[in-house]
Amino acid sequence: MSLKYACAIAGVAESRLGVVPDSTVMTLQAEAMVKALAEAGLEKKDVDAVFSSGNWGRLPQLQVAEYLGINPVYSDNTSVGGASFEFHLGHAAAAIQAGLCKVAIILYGSTQRSRRERRIFEAHSDLGYQYETPYGLPIPVGAYALAASRHMAQYGTTSQQLAELAVSTRAWASLNPSAYRREKLTVDEVLDSQMIASPLHRLDCCLVTDGGGCVVVVSPELAKSLPKPPVWLLGQGESHSHAQISEMPDLTITPAAESGKRAFAMAGIKHSDLDVVEIYDSFTITVILTLESLGFCAPGEGGEFVSSNRTAPGGEFPLNTNGGGLSYCHPGQYGIFLLIESVRQLRGECGDRQVNNATLALASGTGGVLSSNSTCILGLE
């Protein structure tokens, strides 16, 4: 079985991003949903499936659907960190293909910046965490720092290479009016920024912002009748390998190795066929590990791969074209924005940052502490 052409994305939208003090997680999700449905040419009453992730509530899936006034006949709260939304897209495709629903919305919202509801990783000191918590590893940054230390020791990856990725990503952000940080960034500024958990500096780390997003996923028949050109799901794969970093089998290989293999096989395309790539950049090292695990380069070559402005505007490998979690926005679980940017690039709506003639895009979400990955391949036809 395959999910190729099982569904299409008909509408995408962000809420207000950055610092949005006069909002709640509900207002941001409502804002994004209204915009995304309008773009899709659909109404709220058309929505029959809800997918969301968040850890802001007691039963967030029920709370957000109640707030929006939706009684779904298909409901999925798969919550595996920032990659959740790429999982959702695959699950929505399967549900639509099975005929269980026709119009699914994928939702996210966070006010972590303004309202300090940063409970994501706090207060977990029981079960498996009792063997980690006493050592004071800051989560998530410390876990990614451990992976970076291993990659550097094993392959000779350098802080300079990590910094180059941050700089290239910022260059994309400078072309995106919605990006939170748009001023020019240099490699030295990254290397001179405060050390948080060696070898990761402050500017190796994603932003902390508010924001929300919505993606409208519809059946193939419906997609063809709606205003926007359909963006088709061509391939999707998902996997997770652990919850806590001490249980990760190999700190240099992420679950993207498994999910990417499945996504490429389903889409029936080669890496070189892709025009634009959106990879979760919670930290600079996340991107290097994911590029290797997805097979864009050999294990250990990720540092070299992202250097020399290769991923910057005008470079041969357009990567994180909205400015990424590093410079555009990062409201806790960033994965929904990978889908939004992929869709906009394929539709040719990206203005100064538009990649020419983009017809195939890849969005790869990573969640937890390199724990989960889902990779989606999207195309115009």
Interacting residues with other proteins (CB under 8 A): 125-128, 130-139, 141-142, 145-150, 152-154, 194-200, 245-247, 251
Closer residue to other proteins, CB minimum distance, 142 or 212 = 142
Residues 6+ apart with CB under 8 A from 260: 237, 293, 294, 295, 364, 373, 375
Q: How far is the CB of 288 from other proteins (least distance, A)?
A: 15
Q: How far apart are CA 337 and CA 342, in angstroms?
A: 8
Closer residue to other proteins, CB minimum distance, 64 or 152 = 152
Measured over the CA atoms of residue 21, residue 58, residue 71 and residue 6, the dihedral's sign is positive
How many residues are listed for the chain in this entry? 381
Q: How far apart are CA 57 and CA 320, in angstroms?
A: 30
Q: How far is the CB of 196 from other proteins (least distance, A)?
A: 5
Q: How far is the CB of 191 from other proteins (least distance, A)?
A: 15
DSSP of 60-99 = HHHHHHHHHT---SEEE---BTBTHHHHHHHHHHHHHHTT
Assess contact for 164 and 306: CB atoms under 8 A. Answer: yes
Closer residue to other proteins, CB minimum distance, 5 or 121 = 121
Closer residue to other proteins, CB minimum distance, 203 or 223 = 203
Assess contact for 288 and 163: CB atoms under 8 A. Answer: no
Q: How far is the CB of 145 from other proteins (least distance, A)?
A: 4
Q: How far is the CB of 125 from other proteins (least distance, A)?
A: 5
Query: At 174, which amino acid appears?
Result: S
Q: How far is the CB of 150 from other proteins (least distance, A)?
A: 4
Q: Which of 209, 187, 181 is nearest to 117 (CA)?
A: 209
Q: Which residue has the tokens 């966070």?
A: 110
Q: How far apart are CA 101 and CA 245, in angstroms?
A: 37
Closer residue to other proteins, CB minimum distance, 138 or 351 = 138
Q: How far is the CB of 329 from other proteins (least distance, A)?
A: 21
Q: How far is the CB of 245 from other proteins (least distance, A)?
A: 7
Q: How far is the CB of 119 from other proteins (least distance, A)?
A: 13
Q: Which of 106, 101, 105 is nearest to 84 (CA)?
A: 106
Assess contact for 171 and 312: CB atoms under 8 A. Answer: yes
Closer residue to other proteins, CB minimum distance, 130 or 225 = 130
Closer residue to other proteins, CB minimum distance, 199 or 335 = 199
C-alpha separations of 31 from 83, 226, 323 in Å: 22, 21, 22
DSSP of 173-207 = HTT-TT-S--S---HHHHHHSPEEETTEEGGGB--
Residue 218 pairs in a beta bridge with 8, 103
Q: Which residue has the tokens 């909002």?
A: 23
Q: How far is the CB of 285 from other proteins (least distance, A)?
A: 11
Closer residue to other proteins, CB minimum distance, 86 or 258 = 258
Closer residue to other proteins, CB minimum distance, 13 or 137 = 137
Assess contact for 317 and 311: CB atoms under 8 A. Answer: yes
Closer residue to other proteins, CB minimum distance, 139 or 326 = 139
